[in-house]
Amino acid sequence: MIKNTVLERFHEIGIIPVVVLDDVKDAVPLGKALVNGGLPAAEVTFRTAAAKDSIAAMRKECPDLLVGAGTVLSKEQVDQALEAGAQFIVSPGLDKEVVSYCIEKGVPVTPGCATASDVTAAYALGLDVVKFFPAEPAGGIKMIKALAAPFHMMKFMPTGGISEKNMEDYLKEKMILCVGGSWMVKADLIKEGKFDEIEELCKKAVKKLQEVRG
């Protein structure tokens, strides 16, 4: 079973916001909006040049925020993320070298898996939590249920196409650790500085989560 405290926090929070930041100035106000909205976590994707500095700023100014790096594709990016203070690593696919490096560094890693072969490889590396990506295009909750039958020891973090409309389909299932999503942190809201709106969207998502979990 999951022993890592970061992954336990994933389950407690339930919805992990997947964030794309183009400007580091938005990092701290976004982090505060997430905390105030009841979703104190951010997977900051390494798709932009501002990712590393954004993670560092969030870690410094938002002590209650769980901050990690997403879209990590290489050991070099792992090093950059850890240097910035990232508390977890997420990747879109399963790169054994990257996963092994994270394990060696002692940082929680959830690689993207979409097939039985991917999950087998992750399990062989010692993982008991994987990201299911891209969730909706790869078959959604039906596919996860099919995978969970032989891999009953695994927990899944579906990301990709998750929204307020379908998150209940995932979160009500016991093999789901949490979901990843960006509907409450859309790029245009961040760029326009609408952090109050982001906070409200987070609160709305938390309310829905609480209804699902009872």
Q: 64 in helix, strand or coil? A: coil
CA distances from 88 to 30, 159, 211, 214 (A): 18, 16, 28, 28
CB of 16 closer than 8 Å to CB of 205: no
H-helix or E-strand spanning residue 8: helix 5-13
C-alpha to C-alpha distance for 124 and 101, rounded to whole angstroms: 15
Q: 161 in helix, strand or coil? A: coil
List 32, 43, 52, 199, catalytic entry: 43
> Which is nearest to 59 in space by CA: 80, 36, 42, 78?
42
Q: Which residues contact 122 (CB under 8 A, 6 or more apart)?
A: 94, 99, 111, 113, 130, 154
CB of 100 closer than 8 Å to CB of 107: no
C-alpha to C-alpha distance for 188 and 118, rounded to whole angstroms: 34
| Residue 43 annotated as catalytic | yes
List 52, 131, 155, 199, catalytic entry: 131
| Residue 131 annotated as catalytic | yes
Residues tagged active-site: 43, 131
